[in-house]
Amino acid sequence: MIRRVLTFGTSPTESIGERLRRLRTERGLSQRELSTPGVSYAYISRIEAGARQPSVKALRKIAAKLGVSVEYLETGFELAPTSARELVLADAELRLRLDDDPALQEEVRRVLREAIAASDTVAAVRARLFLGMAAARRGDNGEAIAQLETALDSGTISAAGRPDVFATLGRAYSDAGFPQRAVALFERGLEQTRRDAPDDYAAQVRYATYLSFALTDLGELSRATGVVAQVISEAESAIADPYTRVRLYWSLGRIAHEQARPAAALEHFRRAVAMLELTEDSLHLARAHLNVAGSAILAVELDAAGQDIARAEFLLGAWPEPGDLAVLRRMQADLAVARGDALEAVYRGRLAADAAGSEFPNQRGLALAAVAAGLALDGDPAADETFQEAVETLAVHGTRRERNDVLRAYGRYLRSVGRVEDAMDVLDRAADVASALQGDSIGA
């Protein structure tokens, strides 16, 4: 509930017109001097006479010229500072669902500064959550990490109550190339949820799947499989929520994909898609179709992959988030490589790399690999340098399977242009990565 504080000098029975007249005369202004475009002096006269109820737009313009808040001009009361911050944040959170207005974020930053100065921890955390979520939406992982880490460090956020915060921060860690930090975060979330909400199996599954994703990114497939298997054994009979089952299928699909078992991955991903089709969650359905497409390309089901990519593009709409756009364009490039279309592969791969920028280094590395493969198909010597850049990027930000795939592609390219010794060196590196990957798959 918003608390209002009576301001001295007002009467509880004072009407808007009476208040307007009093404020105007106190400031020595005539009705004509108070007028502004869209609010004539005759309009002001009718308000003061009680013959006209002012519009919200008029109230804002008049209040600005009088140097008071709209709230005070309308009611005679001012919001307490804490309530004023709450009102701004509630409005900002609602509007964020509709747009990502920079002016709105500046307003929240102002609220954050005020909250910090007033030691208003609740408002400060809420403002940081808003700014962190907004930053994640536009692909600014650095800002998202800074704001959400500080919010979580406040100790006021429950893992069971706000899995969306943990999920957003974990994804920012992974996209920024810090999968180890994502693993630690999700382990923390899973532990806290099991402790604080032992009967909330849906939340536990959610954290287990997040953790399995992060472990898969690190190439720790045995641990990823173990996490999913444990939560299934503990909660399978209690899992009725379709989203919870989608997360489990998605986890199993990603693990199989990393193990280079495309048929198994496809089976799991297609189950997730089938369940998401029953919901109205177009974003996650689009992402699921892109996962299906990736496994379909590995399984050389190229027509099916093309259909899934087209469906994902339609679902993402005209203005997808930067990370989703990078994945979409990169998947289009991978499909073009598989079809032997060099020009399309290079074009789509460069679009993907541009969309990934520095905020999504993993996707940038994969996009560069697709560009290099396209250049190689076209006999362009620039493929060598592009392959090297992709290898260097994925050495830091890629999974084991991704590093293995790009090294093998680079080795094949070097052999095709007669650089046999260099090719053997690169293929030896690929064999080392593949050995580690197969060892973990066996352990799984």
Q: How do residues 146-168 score in pLDDT, each as one tens digit?
A: 999 999 999 999 998 899 999 99
User: What is each CA distance from 319 to 203, 269, 283, 323, 428, in whole angstroms?
Assistant: 30, 25, 12, 11, 42
pLDDT at residue 261 above 90? no
Residues 113 and 8 in one domain: no
Q: What is the mean pLDDT of the chain?
A: 86
Which range has the worst mean pLDDT, 25-29, 197-201, 309-313, 373-377? 197-201
Task: Answer yes or no: do 68 and 105 share one domain.
Answer: no
Give the number of C-alpha atoms closer than 13 A to the C-alpha of residue 30, restricted to the C-beta side. Answer: 4
Q: What is the pLDDT of residue 60?
A: 85
* pLDDT the model gives residue 443: 38
Q: Are residues 396 and 442 in the same domain?
A: yes
Check if the beta carbon of residue 335 is closer than 8 Å to that of residue 306: yes
Instruction: State pLDDT tens for residues 403-420.
Output: 889 999 999 999 999 999
Residues 431 and 371 in one domain: yes
171 within some domain? no
Question: What digits encode the pLDDT tens for the residues 213-236?
Answer: 888 887 788 888 888 888 777 766
Total number of domains constituting the chain: 3
Could you give the C-alpha distances from 154 to 147, 150, 185, 195, 425, in angstroms and in order?
A: 11, 7, 15, 19, 50
Q: What percent of the chain has pLDDT over 70?
A: 89
Instruction: Count CB atoms within 10 A of the CB of residue 224.
Output: 29
Tell me what the mean pLDDT of segment 69-92 comes to.
73
Residue 437 has pLDDT above 70, yes or no: no
Quick check: 32 pLDDT over 60? yes
Rg of the chain in Å (alpha carbons): 28
If asked whether residues 65 and 89 sit together in one domain, one would say no
Handedness of CA 418, 420, 422, 426 (dihedral sign): positive
| Co-location of 9 and 114 in the same domain | no
Residue 166 lies in a domain: no
29, 54, 79 - which closes a domain? 79
For the domain that residue 23 is a member of, what is the CATH number? 1.10.260.40
Residues 74 and 87 in one domain: no
95: in domain: yes
* φ and ψ of 77, to 5 deg: -125, 150
- Tell me, yes or no, whether 8 lies in a domain: yes
Question: What would the mean pLDDT of 35-54 be, rounded to a whole number?
Answer: 90
Q: Which residue has the higher pLDDT, 64 or 316?
A: 316
| Domain termination residue (choose one: 157, 183, 198) | 157
pLDDT of residue 438 exceeding 60, the answer is no
Give the DSSP letter string of 80-140.
Answer: -HHHHHHHHHHHHHHHHTT---HHHHHHHHHHHHHHHHTT-HHHHHHHHHHHHHHHHHTT-
The reply to whether 435 and 326 lie within a common domain is yes
> Is 332 inside any structural domain?
yes
Helix or strand holding residue 74 (H, E): helix 70-75
Portion of the chain with pLDDT greater than 90, in percent: 45
Can you give the pLDDT at residue 4? 37
Question: Does residue 265 lie in a domain region?
Answer: no
Instruction: Tell me the pLDDT band of 258, cut-offs 50, 70 and 90.
Output: confident
Which of 22, 49, 79 marks a domain boundary?
A: 79
DSSP class per residue in 182-211 = HHHHHHHHHHHHHHH-TT-HHHHHHHHHHH
In a domain, 205, yes or no: no
d(CA 444, CA 442): 5
- Residue 317's region, left for phi above 0, alpha for psi from -120 to 50, else beta, is left
Residue 60 and residue 147 share a domain: no
CA distance 418 to 301: 31
d(CA 242, CA 304): 25
Strand partners, 36: 39
Say what the pLDDT of residue 1 is: 30
Q: In CATH, what number is assigned to the domain containing residue 132?
A: 1.25.40
Flag whether 211 is in a domain.
Answer: no
Note whether 55 and 85 are same-domain residues.
no
Task: Please give the residue that has the higher pLDDT: either 57 or 132.
Answer: 132
Instruction: Tell me: do 46 and 115 sit in the same domain.
Output: no
Domain that holds residue 139: 80-157
Here the CATH number for the domain that contains residue 356 is: 1.25.40.10
